[in-house]
Each structure stands twice: as structure tokens, then as C-alpha cells.
Amino acid sequence: MLVRAWLHGRPRNTVAAYRNDATRFLAHAGKPLVQVELADLQAWDTSLADNKPASRVRRLSAAKSLLTFAHGLGAIPTDPGRKCLIRLLYLCGLRASEAAALCWRDMTLVGKGGAGEAKVLGKGAKLRTVGVPAGLWRDLVALTPTRRPDAPVIPSSTGRPIDRQAVHRAVKAAAKRVGLGKAVSPHWLRHSHASHALDRGAPPQVVQKALGHASLATTTGYLHARRGDLSANYLADV
């Protein structure tokens, strides 16, 4: 019934192709739709490696569209696209506008571990490079049917770039699902990136560079003193 609702109103040829794509995707996942996760979308993307480019784009787009539709109806707990957006904001410390503007021309795969880098145009038209962990990189790849240079890293349901307001709505929706207040914004995730990195020993200069802060004082403002953590603990007893 959900698949029929998802296909309702689409052109006849699209309905036939998308129904076949959805059936194959769910058969590949080997589980009910309510249990499908981002990992299943990744595996589906990998299985399409030998398909013609146009077919691979359509089949991955169909699966992604079905999951987004199912999430909108409350049939599945998370939308893979929104989940990746939240992780991108947090793990890369991006502003909402920076995440919305990110395209695949800005992304570079580095090393053998599957991690990457993103070139981000921040405030004052300043360009900086941020790291993209391997797990996040794989998820972003699985979400994007075509990775042309001008293709958005986080596409909307239509495949076009999302806007800043859409990023804010996605964060607020995620916050609501876990019982947080309405004041939550994308900046909370950027703030958490800085605080958690510093609390876990990242040099302030490294965090400053990743976030694009003009002043180191701005970065060190995210440091938090822990109970019982005294400066004397860092000195050798003589």
C-alpha cells in the first residue's frame, strides 16, 4: 500500500520502472521496509556497480525517494538523507549555509582508508579544508545517485540542492524526535563539534582551522573545565 501511495500520480512509464526498482531494492535488502537502514541503501548502491550509468542513477534515486516518502508518513523512523545531513554538520563542523552549498566538485577522496576532504567556502569568502570521516563519506556516496561536479552532496528529494532553511528544518525535526526543545539549530552541532574535539584533546589550532575561526580566542571559548581537572595535574612533581 505504501509503494502504491508513493507511485500515485506519476507518469505510467515512471510507475512501471519505479515499481520494479522498489521491488528489487526491497528484495536485495531482504527485510521489511520498516527495518531498512542506510546500510541497505549502501549495499544496493554497491550492487548496481555493473549497471549502465543511467539505470544506476534511476534505481538508486527510486530507493532513496521511497525511503524519504516512507519517513514522511512515519513508516520508518529516520530518513537516510536527513541522518547524513546531521552527521555532516556535526562531524565536519559546518554552518547550515556551508552544508547546503557543498557540491561534489568540493569533495576529494584521500588515502586508502576511504576518508575524504571537503573544500568549504565560509564567512568572508574564506576557503578552508575539512576532513570527512570514511563512514560518512560512504554514506554520502550512497545517497547521491550521480556525483557530477555540480551535483549537491546533500540533495533534496528532487535531486536539487537544499537551501539553508531546509537544513534548519531537518535539524529541528531531528531534535523533536529525541525530545529536545525548539531552540535547537544547526549551530548546536557546530558548537558540539568544537566542544567535543577540544574536550578529547584536539589542539585548539586544529579545531580553529577546521571551523574557520578568525581568532583562536573564539575556538578556545568552547573549552570546558572538568571537575577535578587541575593545571597541577599536568606538571611533574619535583
Half-sphere exposure of residue 80, counting CA atoms within 13 Å on the CB side?
26
Nearest to 128 by CA among 208, 187, 193: 208
**Mean pLDDT, to the nearest integer, of 159-170?**
86
The Cα 215–Cα 202 span in angstroms is 17
Catalytically active residues are 95, 123, 187, 190, 213, 222
Query: Residue 32: what pLDDT?
Result: 86
- CA Rg value for the chain: 21
Domain total in the chain: 2
Q: Which residues pair with 103 in a beta bridge?
A: 152
Same domain, 31 and 126: no
CA 157 distance to own-chain centroid: 14
Same domain, 55 and 99: no
Query: Residue 237: what pLDDT?
Result: 62
Q: Per mean pLDDT, which range of 37-51, 178-192, 212-226 is the poorest? A: 212-226
Same domain, 63 and 90: no
**Mean pLDDT, to the nearest integer, of 177-191?**
85
Tell me: the pLDDT tens digits for 127-154? 999 999 998 998 888 877 677 898 899 8
DSSP state of 234: G
Give 107: exposed, middle or buried? Use CB within 10 Å, 0-12, 13-18, 19+. buried
Query: Residue 219: what pLDDT?
Result: 86
Which H helix or E strand runs over 174? helix 164-177
Task: Provide the residue range defining the domain that includes 84.
Answer: 80-217
Share of the chain above pLDDT 70, in %: 92
DSSP 176-208: HHTT--TT--HHHHHHHHHHHHHHTT--HHHHH
Same domain, 87 and 150: yes
Domain boundary residue, one of 72, 95, 124? 72
Query: Residue 120: what pLDDT?
Result: 94
The answer to whether 190 and 95 are in contact (CB under 8 A) is yes
Q: Out of 96-110, 130-144, 171-185, give the one with best mean pLDDT.
A: 96-110
